[in-house]
Chains A and B, each alone.
Chain A
């Protein structure tokens, strides 16, 4: 059967190649391949553990901050240096802001062009566009003059003949379904967010020093004591947060619902859906040992789409397999004596075909990310999530089963953003309460413990992220492992031949024109792939994640 290669997949982070077989107008098989290897875990060995958050943060600049957080948590855990209240709250505020920035940017800059035909926007009636926008939300710059101005800008741009990033797009593809007015509205919103995301980044910089690549997380807490104790800074954060909430409520959410309303069949047929889900939980609500943390968003595992049965996460059930990946073979379940080495990327559909390994939870391929987080929270009766999910389902008149799809994934991303954004002001108030009580500590005291192990497991915008560190008696990194959301989602087949989540999701996708694989990239993009993040080696001492002691 003919195979179609799509390489590069654009509008993601990193270097991804997708191959599919198409028969009868549908994808019948799929292969997901990471095309770059860097070797961060090899680079970490022998270094001062406190350098790890800085090095691992460079796993990705789109999902910036997240690795610094997970890495610092792993070190906190190993050193038994758990952040005091202000340290915990500062991290939650910065991490929350990252969700806002990352998710909204994903929808508009990375995903939108899979639904929005920019060329069609040129045919829209600005008056009708304004009426549409007004019916969906209350946001400035939504008058007919505003949309006309955007349209004029686009016209000038297109008439220049230099189409830049819009050249060779799949404009006019039969699976663009939005009317011209919706296309113009969404394009205007894309441009609006391109300016507003600057402020989401400033929110992170207020306490995190800068974005991309924050520089304030330290073992046991944060360094930005002056910033978190500054009323000006806290007020500025709240001010920006309000702007974010206004955009999420009046632009992002309505746009998401508008788009989803045209693609209900994708939900009904579970196009792009996966079967099993994993979330670690997020935003600790109490200070102290990580083993006794209560999270704002709960962790859990869902198998076979059974929302009624959310299981507790057992990190001991995590394994990573290399059978179909460009690493020397080794058993997944047993500690390896020899060195596991990365090998040359000779692509073999029947053999090894990716620099991603295949993480499995209890032998299952699991999806991680906003949909997993939302489903787990929904299944566990998390009030804010349940309310939002029910509202979205009601608005679209669709059952919960529709969530197991590409559109469900996009909807979950929006739901998660709103749930987090709406709770963050409360965290700022908690900071103020702590300051009033005189709890000004931002970083815990600690001493080198000798040989020690630690784990940092936390949900981040793309899903469940785990960092594991083993510090030796000389206070250097003996071993370091990351198991990253995009590895879970975009990893290859395992030893049993089970497809990875994106591969499973792609099977059954309708494809109108293999030369213009719009439907395929729409599903791939729904996972918000980050390929740079996801590629790493197994540590030479042991293949096995669960052998590293996790608390």
Chain B
């Protein structure tokens, strides 16, 4: 590792012993499914003087996850882009188009090979060689394969990248799948449609500051957010237990905030931290707005949690 001494000195100045630091790097490396030989590269990336580089790729998506991220307030999105990360490629906000944009991607992947954090939004169409989704003349499939190969880590944001998304719902006309399925790379999955930006930020910042990933569940989702069942944490749970159910939207029970089980709530099937953190800085969340949960953080929820208004 280049500048090894310099890096380790800086880490120590931050209060992390050299031994712990190497342990962290090893842990991160193994969690990410990387080979042990990657440990030095992980260490280097995390100790870099410059801002860590993120490449954000859009595949078969609606850009809702990018929009969700824009709602972050800690840090603010301008802080993320100007001070926290080097967002080297993001089609929604970047200045150049066409060849100049392709240059940005190429340069970032070359200059930061093995060191960039790849963030993926969108599913990968696979049918007929992946031709149903292209960027700059290349299939999303080819782009995903190349980008995941040289990434330090791949974080999937949203149900589409994590599990295929809305386009993968029956009959999945374009053969859309998750990034993990398309590339074979193990991804960290911030699921949701879209996910709460708090969970995206928390995962990335956790990784950058502490040098380790949060614990993940069997679906690659951080347990701090997805380890909790909505139903178990729902403020309306007492109504469920007492048998107070909304029968029709706007009825007396709805005015009293009764349980939404009978209008189709999928809370019992869903793992996410919505009841605790809610959305838009704690403003509201679906059940709070009197609407059943549709299970949007669960893989294949479009098929498995629907019809959305039919009780479980």
Name the interface residues of A133-173: CB closer than 8 Å to any CB of B.
153, 157, 160-162, 164-170
CB-contact partner of B64 in A39, A61, A105, A166, under 8 A: A61
Q: How many Å from the CB of A158 to the closest CB on chain B?
A: 10
Q: How many Å from the CB of B235 to the closest CB on chain A?
A: 12
Q: How many Å from the CB of B242 to the closest CB on chain A?
A: 18
Measured CB to CB, the nearest residue on chain B to A167 is: B104
CB-contact partner of A37 in B86, B133, B171, under 8 A: B133
| Residues in A neighbouring B302, C-beta threshold 8 A | 43, 55
Interchain CB contact under 8 A, A209 and B284: yes
Interchain CB contact under 8 A, A216 and B97: no
Is the CB of A32 closer than 8 A to any CB of chain B? no
Q: How many Å from the CB of B281 to the closest CB on chain A?
A: 7
Is the CB of B188 closer than 8 A to any CB of chain A? no
Is the CB of B90 closer than 8 A to any CB of chain A? yes
Number of A residues with CB within 8 Å of any CB on chain B: 91
CB-contact partner of B68 in A39, A161, A197, A212, under 8 A: A212
Segment at the interface with B among A224-232, A262-270, A299-307: A224-232
Is the CB of A201 closer than 8 A to any CB of chain B? yes
Complex: A521 Cα to B94 Cα, angstroms: 12
Complex: A58 Cα to B67 Cα, angstroms: 12
Interchain CB contact under 8 A, A168 and B95: yes
Q: Given that A162-B86, A345-B132 are contacting pairs, would A445 and B94 also be in contact in the complex, using a CB cutoff of 8 Å?
A: no
Is the CB of B81 closer than 8 A to any CB of chain A? yes
Q: How many Å from the CB of A40 to the closest CB on chain B?
A: 7
Interface pairs (17), CB distance under 8 Å: A11-B93, A35-B133, A35-B135, A38-B60, A38-B167, A55-B169, A162-B50, A165-B95, A191-B78, A195-B73, A205-B284, A212-B67, A223-B290, A225-B249, A344-B131, A443-B249, A515-B99
Interchain CB contact under 8 A, B98 and A7: yes
Interchain CB contact under 8 A, B249 and A442: yes
Q: Given that A51-B308, A224-B290 are contacting pairs, would A39 and B71 also be in contact in the complex, using a CB cutoff of 8 Å?
A: no
Q: Given that A160-B51, A206-B284 are contacting pairs, would A345 and B62 also be in contact in the complex, using a CB cutoff of 8 Å?
A: no
CB-contact partner of B166 in A8, A38, A204, A206, under 8 A: A38
Complex: A263 Cα to B289 Cα, angstroms: 46
CB-contact partner of B169 in A7, A8, A43, A210, under 8 A: A43
Interchain CB contact under 8 A, B76 and A48: no
Q: How many Å from the CB of A243 to the closest CB on chain B?
A: 15
| Residues in A neighbouring B294, C-beta threshold 8 A | 54, 215
Interchain CB contact under 8 A, A48 and B103: no
Provide the A484-514 mask, 1 if CB < 8 A to any CB of B, else 0: 0000000000000000000000000000000
| Residues in B neighbouring A521, C-beta threshold 8 A | 97
The A-B contact count (CB < 8 A) is: 293
Segment at the interface with A among B18-26, B212-220, B250-258: B250-258
Is the CB of B146 closer than 8 A to any CB of chain A? no
| Residues in A neighbouring B249, C-beta threshold 8 A | 218, 220-223, 225, 442-443
Number of B residues with CB within 8 Å of any CB on chain A: 90
Is the CB of A127 closer than 8 A to any CB of chain B? no
Is the CB of B3 closer than 8 A to any CB of chain A? no
Q: How many Å from the CB of B200 to the closest CB on chain A?
A: 13
Complex: A200 Cα to B143 Cα, angstroms: 34
Interchain CB contact under 8 A, B51 and A223: no
Interchain CB contact under 8 A, B134 and A36: yes
Q: How many Å from the CB of A56 to the closest CB on chain B?
A: 9
Q: Given that A37-B174, A206-B284, A216-B290 are contacting pairs, would A226 and B255 also be in contact in the complex, using a CB cutoff of 8 Å?
A: yes
Is the CB of A5 closer than 8 A to any CB of chain B? yes
Interchain CB contact under 8 A, A225 and B255: yes
Complex: A13 Cα to B61 Cα, angstroms: 9
Provide the A338-352 mask, 1 if CB < 8 A to any CB of B, else 0: 000010110000000
Measured CB to CB, the nearest residue on chain A to B89 is: A165
Complex: A392 Cα to B62 Cα, angstroms: 34
Provide the B216-254 mask, 1 if CB < 8 A to any CB of A, else 0: 000000000000000000000000000000001110001
| Residues in A neighbouring B131, C-beta threshold 8 A | 344-345
Q: How many Å from the CB of A228 to the closest CB on chain B?
A: 10
Interchain CB contact under 8 A, B66 and A61: yes
Complex: A59 Cα to B254 Cα, angstroms: 29
Is the CB of A183 closer than 8 A to any CB of chain B? no
9 nearest A-B residue pairs (beta carbon) = A61-B64, A169-B95, A39-B173, A210-B279, A209-B289, A48-B307, A6-B98, A223-B290, A205-B280
| Residues in B neighbouring A12, C-beta threshold 8 A | 92
Q: Given that A42-B171, A48-B310, A342-B173 are contacting pairs, would A443 and B98 also be in contact in the complex, using a CB cutoff of 8 Å?
A: no
Q: How many Å from the CB of B110 to the closest CB on chain A?
A: 13
Is the CB of B101 closer than 8 A to any CB of chain A? yes
Is the CB of B77 closer than 8 A to any CB of chain A? yes
Interchain CB contact under 8 A, B280 and A210: yes
